[in-house]
Amino acid sequence: DQQVKQNSPSLSVQEGRISILNCDYTNSMFDYFLWYKKYPAEGPTFLISISSIKDKNEDGRFTVFLNKSAKHLSLHIVPSQPGDSAVYFCAASVDGSGYALNFGKGTSLLVTP
Amino acid sequence: GAVVSQHPSWVICKSGTSVKIECRSLDFQATTMFWYRQFPKQSLMLMATSNEGSKATYEQGVEKDKFLINHASLTLSTLTVTSAHPEDSSFYICSARSRDGPNQPQHFGDGTRLSIL
């Protein structure tokens, strides 16, 4: 049963524009959310996270928004760059020491020049 | 930043062979490490949680005797795929948290691509 869902398998955006990646979750116990970026044949790289006490977290070009009532979060990348082209995974956990992550299936982002 | 190293990166071996994959935290100590498996175009699926000095906790459907996990030190966890068969071919990734406590991200190794002939 997929508790974290990324319903868009792919997204194409022009360089300089905003990329918006979406993620929905079903488990109301999740209280910590993360975005990872992954290139082929490499492990995921941590990008940005947000705890459930916040609704927005910003780090440079990356902003994550959390809407707890809708059980929805999104990652905004502004401006998008060709180097951002990768698969982005949304993950969530019921956090305490040692709890593991539930991942979505990923969204493949292509940023075109 | 926190670095997790995984070795080997690619293994090709015959059916029936046992394969050991190492996961090391290079610049931090990790009491807990995690092992994931990823099939093509699928999500990362948690296989087991590796606890230093104690038995691993396996997710439902993961065979303990098939996937042996040893977390003998605060910087090393190993996953051994015993008597591997073609259906075990997959991408295996480990992760660790550099700090205990809530709201700490996991950092991942680069994964091991296992191909069983």
Q: Which residue has the higher pLDDT, B39 or A88?
A: A88
In contact, A99 and A91? CB cutoff 8 Å: no
B102 to A49: CB separation less than 8 angstroms, yes or no? no
Which of B86, B104, B84, B85 lies closest to B96 in space, CA to CA?
A: B104
B44 to A51: CB separation less than 8 angstroms, yes or no? no
CA distance A95 to chain B (A): 6
pLDDT, average across residues A91-112: 83
CA distance A84 to chain B (A): 18
B44 to A89: CB separation less than 8 angstroms, yes or no? yes
Give contacts of A46 with chain B, Cβ < 8 Å: 105-108
Q: Is B54 on the interface with A (CB under 8 A)?
A: no
Which of A3, A74, A89 lies closest to A38 in space, CA to CA?
A: A89
What confidence tens digit (pLDDT) does each residue in B50-62 have? 888 888 999 999 9
Which residues are within 8 A (CB) of A32 and not within 5 positions of it... i.e. 6 or more apart?
A49, A50, A51, A52, A92, A93, A94, A95, B102, B103
Q: Which residue has the higher pLDDT, B97 or B74?
A: B74
A98 to B51: CB separation less than 8 angstroms, yes or no? yes
pLDDT band at A97 (very low <50, low <70, confident <90, very high): very low
CA distance B62 to B85: 15
What confidence tens digit (pLDDT) does each residue in A23-55 have? 999 999 999 999 999 988 788 999 999 999 999
Give contacts of B105 with chain A, Cβ < 8 Å: 34, 46, 49
The pLDDT mean for chain B works out to 91
* Helix or strand holding residue B10 (H, E): strand B10-13
Question: Could you identify the residue written with the tokens 């303990």?
Answer: B64
How far is residue B38 from each of residues B41, B79, B110, measured CA to CA in Å? Answer: 8, 15, 12
B34 to A100: CB separation less than 8 angstroms, yes or no? yes
Of B101, B107, B110, the CB nearest to A97: B101
CA distance B59 to B49: 8
pLDDT, average across residues B64-82: 94
Question: Could you identify the residue written with the tokens 């691509």?
Answer: B113
How far is residue B93 from each of residues A5, B1, B46, measured CA to CA in Å? Answer: 20, 18, 9
